[in-house]
Chains A and B, each alone.
Chain A
Amino acid sequence: MQALTNRAKQVDRAPMTFIEQLYLWNIVKGMAITFMHMFKKQPTIRYPEQKREFSPVFRGLHVLNRDEEGKERCTACGLCAVACPAEAITMEAAERLESEEHLYREEKYAAKYEINMLRCIYCGLCEEACPKDAIYLSETFTPADFNRKNFIYKKTDLLIPNPTTDAQGFAAAKGLN
């Protein structure tokens, strides 16, 4: 039969030689192999202290973006919710008042915006669907909580820090160095 790869090895059914029958020589060989492993580099990343570099396309927890003046970009169009295959996103729209022009970029905004992080599969389709560059997947990951309820992230959890009042936090959330 034609082998699929050239890695297949024929099983050696020859009777064991005297040295093989003694086992000891082969055991010593095996022990030499394990001994050499003492000097090999450990691939371990000591997690909380060290972190693995993410690839530039890593998709973590969501962030609701603001523009340079600190206005929220989201207009509650609902395209992200439609695009979401896990149906993790819900929102409620509201109309911007005259006094709120410094808060929201356009006339309509999301009064309520919730993502269920337990449903979310971090596919990033919301990010792709958004016409306003309002939602991004950040590099933050492994949220932990004692309560399932707390995994439904509200707007307060999702919004990026305001660049006018908290420029450092904004830069950190954006991942700009």
Chain B
Amino acid sequence: MTILALDWFLLIEKLILIAIIIFASLGVALYTTFAERKVAAILQDRPGPNRAGPFGLLQPLADGLKLITKEEIIPTHANKWLFILGPGLAMTAALMTCAVVPWGGTIEVLGHQVDLQIADVNIGILYVFAVVSMGVYGVMIGGWASNNKFSLMAALRAASQAISYELAMGLSLIALLMVTGSLSLRTIVEQQVGHVWNIVYQPLGFLIFFICALAECNRTPFDLPEAENELNFGYHQEYSSMKLGFYLFSEYINMFISSTIMATMFFGGYDLPFVTSHLSIPGTAAIVGIVVLMAKVVMFIFLFMWIRWTIPRFRYDQLMDLGWKKMIPLALANMLVTGFFILWHQNNWHF
């Protein structure tokens, strides 16, 4: 009976972890919408939403309730199945990325070692890339199925933008992977714990990765797929009710995940310098780790918003220009220089 030989504890542990992480990322996305409005307001000398609950803290719940109770409209000439599939795909892809992120170290529950990570895939970062690229299908299918010129235009833009910037993003990561020598996110974090963070080795790589992450998340200055004032909200123009909510949500979840990936890859993940490696009790180390990782993520999300409320949108040709003629050559040069230094180091700093 092989089925009984299954490690039930592992199964339950993973199920609980999945549930926690899905609900946590939904909650984070919910409150990121609130934070976005609050940050926008503060940067523009306004108080922002402050009516629902203390400091407006219940605002996202009110927004969610509004979206759910709105009338759901499927345009007559829309492709019905694709129209429904679009937001679902966007949301699924956004949520699936959380699976490989190490949220903290190891804790001990009932005598078992529990990694705070759903799956330590040895090609973790490749998995993230694969799933994130799937996210753009959600946008494309939505834009196509709407049977609307603006939506289609936005979908085209989204696709070309994703392709152009994924290249530079991948190239900047290759340089990083040459340094780490591993694709597993946990290994990458563990290499940084107690040592210097990867940002020190790869400042240019991080810059390229960050700019590409902005483009991948459709954030300003690369928010061409949903350019409000030129495309009437772009690909989700025909969407209403919770389907629209899914699109908006998946965008914020993407932002959360890319912040997490950046914190993990370049800023030591759950590592707090000079502290984490000296914490003797394993439980506290894990909890401190989660808090530290969240703090880093919040910093990144704030940076995303700060940029959004500072910089205007790129023109489409400028976007392509930056992607193909600046980012990719830069990433390639970064790769070459990194390779050179690695070889030099392996040769004990002799030519």
The answer to whether B310 and A31 touch across the interface, beta carbons within 8 angstroms, is yes
Asked whether any CB of chain B lies closer than 8 Å to the CB of A37, the reply is yes
Asked whether any CB of chain A lies closer than 8 Å to the CB of B70, the reply is no
Contacts of B307 in A (CB 8 A): 27, 31
The answer to whether B45 and A40 touch across the interface, beta carbons within 8 angstroms, is yes
Asked whether any CB of chain B lies closer than 8 Å to the CB of A10, the reply is no
How big is chain B's contact interface, by range?
10 to 19
Asked whether any CB of chain B lies closer than 8 Å to the CB of A6, the reply is no
Query: Using a Cβ–Cβ cut-off of 8 Å, how many residues does chain A contribute to the interface with B?
Result: 15
Nearest CB in chain A to that of B312: its residue: A30
In angstroms, Cα B42 to Cα A169, docked, is 41
Restricting to A26-64, which residues have a CB under 8 Å from any CB of B?
Answer: 27, 30-31, 33-35, 37-38, 40-44, 46
The answer to whether A37 and B44 touch across the interface, beta carbons within 8 angstroms, is yes
Contacts of B45 in A (CB 8 A): 37, 40-44
The answer to whether A30 and B311 touch across the interface, beta carbons within 8 angstroms, is yes
Partner of B47, one of A27, A38, A46: A46
Among B207, B306, B310, chain A packs the most CB atoms within 10 A around the CB of B310
The answer to whether A34 and B306 touch across the interface, beta carbons within 8 angstroms, is yes
**With A27-B311, A30-B311 in contact, is A44–B46 under 8 Å at CB?**
yes
The answer to whether B47 and A44 touch across the interface, beta carbons within 8 angstroms, is yes
Asked whether any CB of chain A lies closer than 8 Å to the CB of B309, the reply is yes
The answer to whether B46 and A34 touch across the interface, beta carbons within 8 angstroms, is no
Asked whether any CB of chain A lies closer than 8 Å to the CB of B43, the reply is yes
Q: How far is the CB of A21 from chain B (nearest CB, A)?
A: 9
In angstroms, Cα B310 to Cα A35, docked, is 9
Q: Which B residues form the contact surface with A (CB < 8 A)? A: 42-47, 50, 207, 306-307, 309-311
| CB pairs A–B below 8 angstroms (6 shown) | A35-B43, A37-B43, A38-B42, A38-B43, A41-B45, A46-B47
